[in-house]
Amino acid sequence: MPDNTKSGSVAGGKAASVKPGSGTKSGGGNRDSKAPAAKPNKTSAAKPNKTMAAKPNKTMAGKELTQKRPPKSPRIDAKVLADDQAAAVRQVDPDKQRFGFVAIIGATNAGKSTLVNRLVGTKVTIVSHKVQTTRMPIRGIAIEDASQLVFVDTPGIFKPRRRLDRAMVQAAWGGAGEADIVVMLFDAQRGVDDETRELVSRLASVGAPACLALNKIDAISKDRLLNLAQELNAHGKFLATFMISALKGAGVDDLKRYLANAVPQGVWHYPADDVTDAPMRILASEITREKIYARLHQELPYATTVETTSWKDMGKKGVRLEQTIFVARDSQKSIVLGEGGRAIKSISTESRTELTEIVGRPVHLFLFVKVREGWEHDPERYREMGLEFPTE
């Protein structure tokens, strides 16, 4: 299918020199290789919650963790996590190993990505207040006792109106059907409405065993939580019910232990130090998209996409990365660039800082902005995102 790209602009470490609407060629850029690299963030993981493990068909409330400033998404030092995972595998008898896929499904903005990051112990999927941020299933890998759990962060389920919407919802239900167990996540603040009941009914038709998790429990009263749990269990069949705060960590350890015992016996499929099976190119693109939404979520349609077009390893000097931000119209391109290039410079700085933490070396990031009309109707773009192209 022909590429309808109209124009491109570039931003590097000195992106303020780029003027909105300029037709700069997308092969150059202002070099930022001399900028000092951000030191990796070695924050420690949240302390484990010591509440008792849940029993099937029982409703339980997790205790709140005492954190003055809970992180927006849980982050721990990658090397520490890898060492812990490697130590865990050395202590596990191969004959006692368990392995399973756990699909996290729910409506948009229920907190699925935040929960997956919390369960894994580090950031593997992007988080945004913008609805339909997650487009393709992202897998995060964690070890709990003798179990290796693969958490699948699925796109939010909503009533699709466009082709991309249909592809995302199809991917979400596909992830649920292929999982060993499903966690149906609900925003406790939202309550039970017709859309919620429809989700529960549809889950029953999938046939996979499921447990219920009520998220954001710190925002509503205990009585309301219990009533909500009873109503949802009356509409659906859940093995167990958990009350959690994915952001603060309350109740999440209980959920994780329950899932570790629920998955079937079987050998681990991934190395002990893996936390995701997503290629770094995709993770890098997703992080930049997250920064775009964080800065421009009220101005820019969610259909914006990012592709990592070049990844060059320069040894001790770090990694040189080129990414293209695709928008649908010239007016959107101007929004991404910002006045005097300030918006794209900020996006580049924030993305580069986080990527440096993940890679553990300096990252020299070059961003390009291009208009690609009608990309939502291009099957190739869907394949790049790991989605099936809806024919209707």
* pTM higher than the cut 0.85: no
Q: Reduce the DSSP state of residue 75 to 3 states and report it.
A: coil
Domains of the chain, with CATH numbers? 5-37+279-384 (3.30.300.20), 59-262 (3.40.50.300)
Whether the pLDDT of residue 391 is over 90: the answer is: no
What's the pLDDT at 183?
Answer: 93
C-alpha dihedral, 82 to 87 to 88 to 94, nearest 10°: 120
Residue appearing with tokens 């990012």 = 306
What's the pLDDT at 205?
Answer: 77
Q: What is the pLDDT of residues 334-370, one digit of tens each?
A: 899 999 999 999 999 999 999 999 888 999 999 999 9
Q: What is the pLDDT of residues 291-346, one digit of tens each?
A: 998 888 767 666 688 999 999 999 989 999 999 999 888 888 989 999 999 999 99
Of 142, 134, 141, 99, nearest to 114 (Cα)? 134
Q: Reduce the DSSP state of residue 4 to 3 states and report it.
A: coil
Of 9, 8, 16, nearest to 345 (Cα)? 16
